[in-house]
Amino acid sequence: MNAVVQCVNSTPGLSEFLVHLDCTSYSGEPTHGETVQELAAIVKALWSGRHKSESLHDLKNAMGRRHACFRDSAQQDAHEFLLCLLNSLHEELTDVSRKQMLREQDNDGVPDSRAIKLLQDDSQSSSQSPISNLFGGQYKSTLRCVSCGNQSAKFEAFSHLSVPMPARASQCSLHECIQLFVEGDTISGWTCPECQSSDGATKRLDIRRLPPVLIIHIQRFYNDGAWKKNQSSVLFPLKNLDMSPHLATEDAHQQHHRYHLYGVVNHYGSMDSGHYTAFCRAPNTDRWHKYDDHQVHERSGGSVQSSAGYLLFYSAIDQRL
């Protein structure tokens, strides 16, 4: 939790949004969901500089009420926590505008015509929130039957890219991992709707739209009869990550394709025993700091690129929020 929250706190656009977020109405009633309120309180406290450290106890309890896996003190994966946190924030922030509209309707403050339009807008933008606007991208998933070549495609939204690592390589580049991700895999047991063959299909992903903030999860944990961790080193750039080679050709002109790194969640240790830390780049000084629970130390950019990198947080160079 500590490592993930530090990277979230360093996310351009999101930290400013949470710092200035008013979580109570004029009557003192909460205007946002519990997760939003608790995270906003932490971010405001961190930026205020009043204390050397802040407790995540209340946020942990709020997450536990939404997600059963966080209700006790069992060890959990940082990647899973990040996804649950972003999903909770997205759902709570998406629901605010609809609740406000219904509240106004109850008070007869919205004409019928505007109420209908608000409902239509809500239906069309039900998947949009400040979270999806920052982290949301889209790719096209294409299945191709290995027997007859018939293809079927669908568009899917993503909040991060979960990329595999090359097998039996002691060192690889982030671009190699991303290329493996878009090349996809073979889907066994798939039945073709055209020829009815169950010989399977190949799956390919074409990235159509990249978000202002790109999170890349390196798949270090794998199941080979038993869960293990891949300790290989992944070389990732601190500056100028160029994603254009991985975009669908017709979308190579899309808005975001070059990124600077601003946060890393590291995992040290094995599958059975490990520890998480974070590297974050300060937006006002451009200096890197290592966050190890309550301890903070300045670090050089070179120390950020290590074999412990697990979650990478990139911000678009041309980002306009």
> In the predicted model, is pLDDT for residue 95 greater than 80?
no
Q: Is 176 domain-assigned?
A: no
Judged against a pLDDT cut of 80, whether residue 120 lies above it is answered with: no
Residue 9, helix vs strand vs coil: helix
Conformational region of residue 269, where left means phi above 0, alpha means psi within -120 to 50, and beta covers everything else: left
**Which range has highest mean pLDDT (97-106, 125-134, 218-227)?**
218-227
- Tell me the CA distances in angstroms from 305 to 50, 236, 267, 288, 309, one per residue in order: 31, 7, 13, 12, 7
Residues 222-237: tens digit of each pLDDT: 888 888 899 999 999 9
Q: What is the mean pLDDT of the chain?
A: 85
- Give the domain range for residue 71: 1-135
What DSSP character marks residue 140? E
Check residues 19 and 224 and name the one with the higher pLDDT: 19
- The CATH number that applies at residue 38 is 3.90.70.10
Q: Does 127 map to a domain?
A: yes
Q: Residue 263, exposed/middle/buried by CB under 10 A (0-12, 13-18, 19+)?
A: buried
Among 38-47, 89-98, 112-121, 214-223, the minimum mean pLDDT is found in 112-121
pTM of the model: 0.86
In a domain, 80, yes or no: yes
Tokens of 16: 């400013």
Does 50 map to a domain? yes
Residue 242 belongs to some domain of the structure = no
Q: Residue 40: inside a domain, yes or no?
A: yes
Please report whether residue 195 resides in a domain. Answer: no
How much is the pLDDT for 312?
A: 98
Q: Answer yes or no: are the C-beta atoms of 62 and 92 closer than 8 Å.
A: no
High-pLDDT (> 90) share of the chain, %: 59
Kindly state whether residue 229 falls inside one of the protein's structural domains.
Answer: no
Higher pLDDT, 119 or 255: 255
Structural domain total, the chain: 1
Tell me if 11 sits within 8 A of 213, measured CB to CB.
yes
pLDDT of residue 107: 43
Determine the straight-line distance between the first and last CA of the chain, rounded to whole angstroms: 26
Q: Cα–Cα distance between 128 and 94 in angstroms, integer? A: 6
Q: Phi/psi of residue 93, each to 5°?
A: -75, -30
Q: Residue 28: its pLDDT value, please?
A: 54
- Reported as a single tens digit per residue, the pLDDT across 274-303 is 999 999 999 888 899 999 998 999 999 889
pLDDT at 6: 96
**For residue 215, which of 83, 87, 76, 60 has the smallest C-alpha distance?**
83
